[in-house]
A and B are shown apart, each in its own frame.
Chain A
Amino acid sequence: MQLRVRALETVLAEKGYIDPAALDAIIEAYETKVGPHTGACVVAKAWSDPAFKRALIADASKAVASFGLLNRVGDHLIAVENTPKLHNMIVCTLCSCYPWEVLGLPPVWYKSAPYRSRAVNDPRGVLADFGVKLPADTQIRVWDSTAETRFIVLPMRPPGAEGWSEEKLATLVTRDCMIGTGLPKDPKNAKEAA
């Protein structure tokens, strides 16, 4: 594949369509700048600041844009909140739609046939693959990303992190808990690592 892609790049650069230096910059941005740390900051702020949380649920694109610390996000970001009675999960059954701006590029499993096929009819089975078990009466809400709207799950703040700073709270927020296939880290276990 390496040679084939290099041949393609050479043709397209010689034709004057692309600049290899721009490709380097794109790869660097997605390897180092864009990633789930951005989403984790958003979640930690929502856990700490009730006004921000309300703004995030009302219009996530606008709320995140007002944040200041982050890259601007596009117009169509929607934050969906987990509660003791409701667990949200995000999928794209048709391709691989994913909130790049807040979570980076999707992991391989998110784009794989097992996840895309089962998330909509067996989300509890999928959660079991991730080692997550929810009470039987928790409603499971699956969001199929079939248009340009993008979703991020706002997980529940775990108990045991009272008084933590936003920065420290962000260390509890995993990528998977913002997709809905995981839960935030337990503060008891995270303390030593942080």
Chain B
Amino acid sequence: MDGIHDMGGMHGFGKVEPEPNEPVFHAPWEGRTFALNRALGYTGIWTIDQTRAGIERLPPDVYLSSSYYKKWEMRLENLIVELGLADADEIKAGHALRPGRTLKRKLNAADVPNTLTRGSFSRPAQAPARFKPGDRVRTKNIHPATHTRLPRYARGRSGVVEALRGCHVFPDTVAIGNGENPQWLYTVLFDGRELWGEKTDPSLKVSIEAFEPYLEAA
């Protein structure tokens, strides 16, 4: 979706301000929110792209004015209700008012070390890759109202395939419950001037990781 989350190239946000000696979490609730998301994710109730879409659907003013983990907390409340894990009156009451659903699995403390390694997103290919390194490609000018990983600044632009990264779960379908639909993934390299115009610093190159359905031969 063409949401506020798609920030590449926007102006007006000011300087980057690194925080010296930054803690991992700035308050205990941030750690709890992070861990709740991880533990619920372990049950298999959602995919990573469903959770990204959950953040992207927050209203733009809320997105911009909320801290990172505040967004995670709001997303969590929304998804819990949407997926039927709990109802809004229970969250308000702070207690379960009805029995829970049966989920596939539950994370125990002893299994946490095994969850620190990411799962694989590689899947068997459904067809041969259309492109190879060195091929010139153009990204499609698409504007789906649902989740996509093709950023706005890189739509309708010419670039070169730099690498083939294997066949991966396709975010655009998995995020809306239409299956993993595995697609070839490429690193596509763009000249900065192709993205931002002739006056751009000629030393700039930008790459995106592009799924095959985002690309056409150029």
A residues adjacent to B (C-beta < 8 A)? 1-2, 4-12, 14-19, 21-27, 29-31, 33-35, 71-76, 91, 93-96, 100-101, 104-105, 107-109, 111-121, 123-124, 126, 129-130, 136-149, 176, 181
A-contact 0/1 string along B147-173, CB 8 Å cutoff: 001110110000000000100110100
Sample 11 A-B pairs with CB under 8 A, ordered by A number: A1-B70, A23-B39, A25-B109, A112-B13, A113-B7, A120-B9, A120-B195, A142-B205, A147-B121, A149-B187, A149-B209
Given A17-B43, A25-B109, residue A2 in contact with residue B16 (CB < 8 A):
no
Question: Which residues on the A side are within 8 Å of B61 (C-beta)?
Answer: none
Within 8 A of A (CB), among B89-113: 90-96, 99-101, 103, 106-109, 111-113
In the bound complex, do residue B68 and residue A111 qualify as a contact, i.e. CB atoms below 8 Å apart?
A: yes
Instruction: Please give the number of chain B residues whose Cβ is less than 8 angstroms from any Cβ of chain A in the complex.
Output: 94
In the bound complex, do residue B106 and residue A147 qualify as a contact, i.e. CB atoms below 8 Å apart?
A: no
- Chain B nearest CB, measured from A149 CB (Å): 5
In the bound complex, do residue B6 and residue A93 qualify as a contact, i.e. CB atoms below 8 Å apart?
A: yes
Q: From B13, B169, B205, give the contact of A114 (CB < 8 A).
A: B13
In the bound complex, do residue B109 and residue A12 qualify as a contact, i.e. CB atoms below 8 Å apart?
A: no
Chain B residue nearest to A147 in the complex (CB):
B209
Question: Which residues on the B side are within 8 Å of A139 (C-beta)?
Answer: 203-205
A74 to B121 alpha-carbon distance, docked (Å):
9
Question: Which residues on the B side are within 8 Å of A137 (C-beta)?
Answer: 203
In the bound complex, do residue B109 and residue A21 qualify as a contact, i.e. CB atoms below 8 Å apart?
A: yes
Task: Please name the 6 residue pairs, one residue from A and one from B, whose CB atoms are nearest each other, closest first.
Answer: A15-B100, A74-B118, A93-B8, A7-B94, A147-B209, A14-B96
Extra inter-chain contacts (10) besides given A18-B39, A147-B171, CB under 8 Å:
A4-B29, A5-B33, A11-B91, A22-B107, A31-B31, A76-B121, A117-B10, A130-B16, A144-B206, A146-B150
A101 to B100 alpha-carbon distance, docked (Å):
33
Q: From B7, B39, B90, B204, give the contact of A123 (CB < 8 A).
A: B204
In the bound complex, do residue A101 and residue B118 qualify as a contact, i.e. CB atoms below 8 Å apart?
A: yes
In the bound complex, do residue A143 and residue B195 qualify as a contact, i.e. CB atoms below 8 Å apart?
A: no
Of residues A23, A26, A126, A181, which shows the largest number of chain B Cβ atoms within 10 Å of its Cβ? A26
Question: Which residues on the B side are within 8 Å of A75 (C-beta)?
Answer: 118, 120-122
Question: Which residues on the B side are within 8 Å of A72 (C-beta)?
Answer: 117
- Chain A nearest CB, measured from B177 CB (Å): 19
A119 to B10 alpha-carbon distance, docked (Å):
10
Question: Which residues on the B side are within 8 Å of A145 (C-beta)?
Answer: 209
In the bound complex, do residue A109 and residue B205 qualify as a contact, i.e. CB atoms below 8 Å apart?
A: no
Question: Which residues on the A side are within 8 Å of B122 (C-beta)?
Answer: 75-76
Q: From B13, B109, B168, give the contact of A22 (CB < 8 A).
A: B109
In the bound complex, do residue A26 and residue B94 qualify as a contact, i.e. CB atoms below 8 Å apart?
A: no
A8 to B33 alpha-carbon distance, docked (Å):
9
Question: Which residues on the A side are within 8 Å of B68 (C-beta)?
Answer: 96, 108, 111
A86 to B174 alpha-carbon distance, docked (Å):
36
In the bound complex, do residue A144 and residue B36 qualify as a contact, i.e. CB atoms below 8 Å apart?
A: no
Question: Which residues on the A side are within 8 Å of B18 (C-beta)?
Answer: 107, 109, 129-130, 176, 181
Given A19-B108, A19-B109, A72-B117, residue A109 in contact with residue B165 (CB < 8 A):
no
Given A12-B40, A26-B35, residue A144 in contact with residue B118 (CB < 8 A):
no
